[in-house]
Amino acid sequence: MEEQVTMTAEERVEFEEYKAEKAKREASEKQRQNRDTYKTLVNDTINEMFPALETISKELAKNKTAVYEAFQQAMLMKQELYEVKQDQRSNTFTNAEGTRRITLGQYTTDNYDDTVNEGIEKVKQYISSLAKDNESKMLVDGIMRLLAKDQQGNLKASRVMQLRKMAEDSKSELFIDGVRIIEAAYRPAVSKFYIKAERKNENGAWVSVPLGMTEA
């Protein structure tokens, strides 16, 4: 027969506190074990899958190079037959049925040599010569926005085109020459090459063929 244990109220409180503390320790230990299990799972999964991703990357790079090499002759003929500029940023080729097309190109970032500062200085000289009425203030604000540099410290080429239009409209030789210097200092830097593949769907719309891990 099981012996009955009699506890005082104080002993009952101490016993309940002991059980609560024990349960807390056990829960903490269980959480620690689960976290260790999670870290082990992540580590094992990375080591298992990483070689497959490296293989995919190598195959993608290999096929990308193969596509460029395959189209080299076509790009040279396109330049000769259609007088395409050598510095064209992209080339698009479409099959005879008009259902498939491949675009080969390169991303560029805006970049300028140090003479760009002379051009900017001339533009600012023109700005300082403007009258101080409301109309000229709006023009000054517009020019200064176009002269604003990006995070890399470069002017946006698209903004320089707008700046040229404003210079031509102004008829100011100082302003025009400043923009010319800026344009002559332009040295776009090639960041990376890209390939796009597209096919027409049943509705006649071009649909991209996923070629990246985030698109597939």
Reading the chain (216 residues) residue by residue, the pLDDT tens digits are 455 667 788 878 888 888 888 889 999 999 999 999 999 999 999 999 999 999 999 998 899 889 989 998 888 888 888 876 655 678 899 999 999 999 998 888 888 888 999 999 999 888 887 767 676 778 788 888 888 888 777 788 889 999 999 999 888 999 999 999 999 999 888 778 889 999 999 999 999 998 877 766
Question: Within a domain: residue 2?
Answer: no
Whether residue 62 sits in one domain with residue 31? yes
Using the 8-state DSSP alphabet, how is residue 133 labeled?
A: S
Task: Give me Rg for the CA atoms of the chain.
Answer: 34
Tally the domains of the chain.
3
Whether residue 102 sits in one domain with residue 151? no
Whether residue 19 sits in one domain with residue 33? yes
Question: Within a domain: residue 67?
Answer: yes
Residue 2's pLDDT is 53
Instruction: Tell the residue number behind the tokens 């003929």, with chain if given.
Output: 77
Longest dimension (CA), the chain: 113
Q: Quick check: 144 and 123 in contact, CB under 8 A?
A: no
Question: Within a domain: residue 1?
Answer: no
Residue 101 region, left (φ>0) first, then alpha (ψ -120 to 50), else beta?
Answer: beta
Instruction: Tell the residue number behind the tokens 């020459």, with chain if given.
Output: 177
Residue 155's pLDDT is 85
Q: Domain limits at 65?
A: 8-84
Residue 189's pLDDT is 81
| Strand ranges for 87-203 from DSSP E | 90-94, 100-109, 189-200
Residue 29's pLDDT is 92
Whether residue 79 sits in one domain with residue 15? yes
Residue 215's pLDDT is 66
Whether residue 79 sits in one domain with residue 127? no
Whether residue 180 sits in one domain with residue 124? yes
Report the distance separating Cα 21 and Cα 23, nearest Å. 5
Whether residue 199 sits in one domain with residue 102? yes
Residue 33 CA, distance from chain mean position: 40
Q: Quick check: 179 and 164 in contact, CB under 8 A?
A: yes
